[in-house]
Each structure stands twice: as structure tokens, then as C-alpha cells.
């Protein structure tokens, strides 16, 4: 099947500024997006773009939106690096392919808009290029080079494929044409995102691929088939706003993806909390706590606050993702309003679905997660308070018992010492005892009286303590 002037647009985004990222410490050669642009152009057109060398990543650091191409590289207000080459369709035919790479900085991220296309006009700018087979698209994505690797700080991408329909007969086969385009770009079925929905944008059919139910392997692909000049003209009128739209959309999806990872971490931490509480000794009111159990409870008082801190941080991360989604959904809706101001009677229902349905669903899901897991914090606080109460009561009882013991021993020893001192004054001779061959020495007799006094008065002190308690 034939199409006219097919294009592949890559909109890719990478975080450059965040809690653990210092912009001044990053070099242009280290940025994944510029490396990927070089690889794609080299793979398709066998040319070296050297994009990193043409970029000033520290340009206008305070501006929210910056074209990063060095001033010396800008020609005729064109802030993109143009490229041109040929691709062989077969042994005899070659076609001209043009493209560009537009590096930007948007808010806290780097952005890359990379385009490869079959031009609408020949070099004379008058003669239209010939229709090409859909299979040409496979030549523009060798080895799936347009699917970027998900490295650290990579936010995501949108792949937009555009092509002109060749006539009214194509209207009966729109889905088939879009599907053939998708299969040409992704010959490997395992790399091909599933169909999501179909709609209209600026009067031309557009197809979306990629399901949020397959979030781990999610890839966003749009195939837009132009019926007439209207869609192409409107695309050129609001291309900056569309770039922003894809940026905010990507940040929403990335935040939700990260929230699902955090969700599993929170669930794991919640299980730890339940296990820790289940392992606590089950004691009735009158049960005594052994020394070993008391030691275990004290260890729990050290472990559980650390677990509570970890758990609280995870819940805070979930809240941060929810806020990120809300902020970027607002920005997304604002860009849609801006497009409506640029293009009169713009048909934007296709894009509004994301801000009206998908993004609110993401926020509700995170809110439901928070509502469920916040009980874990309450449970943990109650467990810590309960353990602390048990330990304090048991420790107080043991301290009181030790105090009583010291008092009893002190009274007994004091009384024994007094009796020993008194008795020793009156007994200065050995004491004869019937049935004993030898008399009892005064020292031994004094010790016996002291021992008896110690035991007697110690017993009295013990009885008094018991009555007092």
C-alpha cells in the first residue's frame, strides 16, 4: 500500500534537574538524548550529527524554555540541526530523506524533537515527490533505534508517525493503513505497542497505541493520516504547543509509573509492620513479662521507629507523585487552551481524553492507595505506644521491686549490726552449751545473734512492704 511523504517524529524527554541532579555537573556528552539522536541518524542515513558538540546545555539557565543550539550553529533563526541523505529501497532505487534534530530545555528537563521524513517536494521545491510504499518506514527505524533505552533520569517518549493518504479510496481502509504503518516501523511483534483508540485531530484520522494496563512496557505511539492540508498546516502552527503537550503528558505517565513501584514498596513495608506486630508477645493483664521478653520489647522499640520513618517516607513519595500528576495535568490542559486560541474551532477531543479521563484516574488510584496504607502508620504508632507502655510499666515494677529488696536488706543488715554491737558488750566469755564438749566463743555467739536479728528484722521489713503495696 502506498502513502505520501511519511514522517517519523520522536519527542523524547530526560530529567536534568532534581533532588539528586546538579545541572552544572552534567556535560553535553553525558546526556542520553543527544547520544540517541546521533545513533539514530547514523543508523538511518549513515551520517554523524555530532549533536553534543553543537549544544550549550548551560545556555540561559533561568529560562523555562530554551533552544539549546549554540548561537554559532543557528542559521536563519533555525534552532535545529538539519540532515539529509538517501535510503535504498532496493538495488535500483534510492529516495531522499531529510530530517532535523531540535534540542531544548523545558523546565526541569531536556527535550529532543527528532524528525526523519520523505519530503513532499523534490529538490526543485516544485515537483511533488512520488508515493512510496509503507515499507519505507521500516528503513527509518532499523533495529528499532527510535525506541530509546530507559536509563536513569529518562522520562519517556512519544513517537508520532504522519503520512498523507493517497486518495478517497484510502478512507475505507484507515485502520488497515495505520496498522501497516505500525508494523513497518516495528517489524518485531514483541516490540509493537497494542492498539488503544482511534479519533480525529484537525479533521484527519489519528490512531493511538500503547495501553496503561501494560504500564511496565508502555510505549506511546501516534499514527496520524493527513486527508488534506488542514492537518499539516495546523500541526506547523502549533508544533511548540504540541511538543509541550507531549512533555507534560510524559511527566504524568512517568509519575504514575514510579508511583506503582513505590506502591509495591509500601505494600512490602506494610507487610513488615504486620509481621512485626504479630511477633509481639501476647500477654494478659496478669501475665508476667520475662527478662528475655522485656529485652525483645526494648529491641522492638529501636526497630519500629526506623520502620515508621521508612514507611512515612514512602507515603510521602506517593503524595509527591500525586502532586506531580496534578501539576502537569494542569499544564497539559493549559496548553490545550493555548492551541484553541491559535487554531479557531480546533478539534481537540482526542487530546482532552488524557486530561479528562486518564490523568484523573491516576490521581484517584494513588489517593486510594494512600487512604488504605495510612492505616499502617496509625497501626505502627499504636504498636510503638503499646510496647513503650508495657516496657515502662514492667521497668517501673522491676525498679520498685529492686528498691524494696534494697530496703529489706538494708533494714536487716542494719538491725543485725546494732544487735551485734550490743551483744558483744555483754558477752566477753565463752558460753557453755549442754551437750557440747566445748563452749561457744564470744565472737561466734555475737555473729549468731546478729544473724538472727538480720533475718528477723528483714522479715518484718518484708511484711511491712507487702502490707504497704
The 10s digit of each residue's pLDDT in 160-207 is 999 999 988 888 899 999 999 999 999 999 999 999 999 999 999 999
DSSP β-bridge partners for residue 200: 205
Residue of 327, 325, 336 lying closest to 364 (CA atoms): 325
| Angle formed at CA 242 by CA 241 and CA 243, multiple of 5 degrees | 90
Tens digit of each residue's pLDDT (9 = 90 or more) over 263-272:
999 999 888 8
Tens digit of each residue's pLDDT (9 = 90 or more) over 91-124:
678 899 999 999 999 999 999 999 999 999 988 7
Cα–Cα dist 117/160, whole Å: 12
Residue position matching grid coordinates 536487716:
412
Domain 253-392 top-level CATH class: mainly alpha
* pLDDT for res 373: 87
Backbone phi, then psi, for 352, in 5-degree steps?
-65, -25
Cα–Cα dist 112/181, whole Å: 23
151, HSE (Cβ side, Cα atoms, 13 Å): 12
Q: Are strands 154-164 and 2-15 parallel, antiparallel or unpaired?
A: antiparallel
Q: Are strands 204-209 and 220-226 parallel, antiparallel or unpaired?
A: antiparallel
Instruction: Inform me whether the pLDDT recorded for 24 exceeds 50.
Output: no
Confidence of residue 311 (pLDDT cuts 50, 70, 90): confident
Instruction: Inform me whether the pLDDT recorded for 73 exceeds 60.
Output: yes
Where do the domains of the chain lie? Answer: 2-237, 253-392, 399-468
3-state secondary structure of 315: helix
- 224 or 372: which leads in pLDDT: 224
CA distances in angstroms from 391 to 286, 298, 388, listed in the order given: 15, 7, 5
Judged by average pLDDT, the poorest of 233-237, 325-329, 344-348, 391-395 is: 391-395
Judged by average pLDDT, the poorest of 43-52, 89-98, 397-406 is: 397-406
* pLDDT for res 223: 98
Distance of CA 364 to the CA centre of its chain: 17
Instruction: Inform me whether the pLDDT recorded for 448 exceeds 70.
Output: no
Taking residue 258's Cβ as centre, other Cβ atoms within 10 Å add up to 15
Amino acid at each position: 500500500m502506498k502513502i505520501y511523504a511519511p514522517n517519523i517524529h520522536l519527542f523524547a524527554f530526560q530529567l536534568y534537574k532534581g533532588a539528586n541532579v546538579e545541572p552544572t555537573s552534567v556535560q553535553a556528552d553525558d546526556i542520553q538524548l543527544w547520544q540517541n539522536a546521533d545513533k539514530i541518524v547514523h543508523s538511518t542515513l549513515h551520517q554523524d550529527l555530532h549533536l553534543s558538540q553543537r549544544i550549550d546545555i548551560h545556555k540561559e539557565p533561568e529560562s523555562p524554555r530554551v533552544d539549546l543550539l549554540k548561537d554559532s550553529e543557528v542559521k536563519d533563526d533555525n534552532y535545529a540541526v538539519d540532515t539529509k541523505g538517501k535510503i535504498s529501497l532496493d538495488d535500483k532505487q534510492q529516495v531522499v530523506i531529510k530530517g532535523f534534530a531540535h534540542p531544548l530545555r523545558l523546565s526541569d528537563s531536556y527535550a529532543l524533537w527528532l524528525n526523519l521524513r520523505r519530503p513532499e517536494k523534490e529538490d526543485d521545491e516544485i515537483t511533488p515527490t512520488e508515493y512510496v510504499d509503507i515499507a519505507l518506514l521500516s528503513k527509518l527505524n532499523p533495529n528499532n533505534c527510535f525506541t530509546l533505552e530507559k536509563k536513569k533520569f529518562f522520562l519517556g517518549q512519544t513517537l508520532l508517525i504522519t503520512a498523507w493518504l493517497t486518495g478517497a479510496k484510502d478512507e475505507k481502509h484507515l485502520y488497515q493503513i495505520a496498522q501497516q504503518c505500525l508494523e513497518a516501523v516495528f517489524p518485531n511483534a514483541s516490540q509493537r505497542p497494542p492498539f488503544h483508540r482511534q479519533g480525529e485531530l484537525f479533521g484527519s484520522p489519528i490512531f493511538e497505541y500503547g495501553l496503561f494496563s501494560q504500564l511496565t512496557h508502555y510505549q506511546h505511539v501516534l499514527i496520524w493520516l493527513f486527508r488534506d492540508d488542514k492537518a499539516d498546516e495546523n500541526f506547523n502552527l502549533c508544533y511548540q504547543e504540541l511538543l509541550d503537550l507531549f512533555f507534560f503528558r510524559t511527566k504524568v505517565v512517568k509519575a504514575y509509573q514510579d508511583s506503582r513501584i513505590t506502591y509495591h514498596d509500601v505494600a512490602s513495608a506494610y507487610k513488615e509492620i504486620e509481621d512485626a506486630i504479630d511477633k509481639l508477645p501476647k500477654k494478659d493483664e496478669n501475665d508476667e513479662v520475662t527478662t528475655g521478653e522485656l529485652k525483645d520489647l526494648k529491641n522492638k522499640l529501636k526497630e519500629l521507629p526506623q520502620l515508621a520513618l521508612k514507611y512515612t517516607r514512602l507515603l510521602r513519595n506517593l503524595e509527591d507523585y500525586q502532586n506531580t500528576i496534578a501539576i502537569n495535568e494542569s499544564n497539559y490542559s493549559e496548553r490545550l487552551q493555548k492551541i484553541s486560541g491559535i487554531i479557531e474551532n480546533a478539534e481537540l477531543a482526542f487530546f482532552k481524553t488524557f486530561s479528562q479521563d486518564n490523568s484523573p484516574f491516576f490521581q484517584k488510584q494513588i489517593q486510594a492507595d494512600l487512604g488504605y496504607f495510612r492505616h499502617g502508620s496509625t497501626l505502627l504508632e499504636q504498636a510503638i505506644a503499646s510496647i513503650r507502655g508495657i516496657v515502662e510499666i514492667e521497668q517501673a515494677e522491676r525498679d520498685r521491686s529492686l528498691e524494696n529488696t534494697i530496703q529489706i536488706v538494708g533494714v536487716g543488715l542494719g538491725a543485725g549490726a546494732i544487735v551485734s554491737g550490743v551483744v558483744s558488750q555483754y558477752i566477753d566469755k565463752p558460753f557453755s552449751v549442754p551437750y557440747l564438749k566445748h563452749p561457744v566463743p564470744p565472737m561466734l555467739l555475737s555473729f549468731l545473734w546478729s544473724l538472727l536479728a538480720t533475718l528477723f528484722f528483714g522479715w518484718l521489713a518484708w511484711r511491712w512492704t507487702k502490707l504497704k503495696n
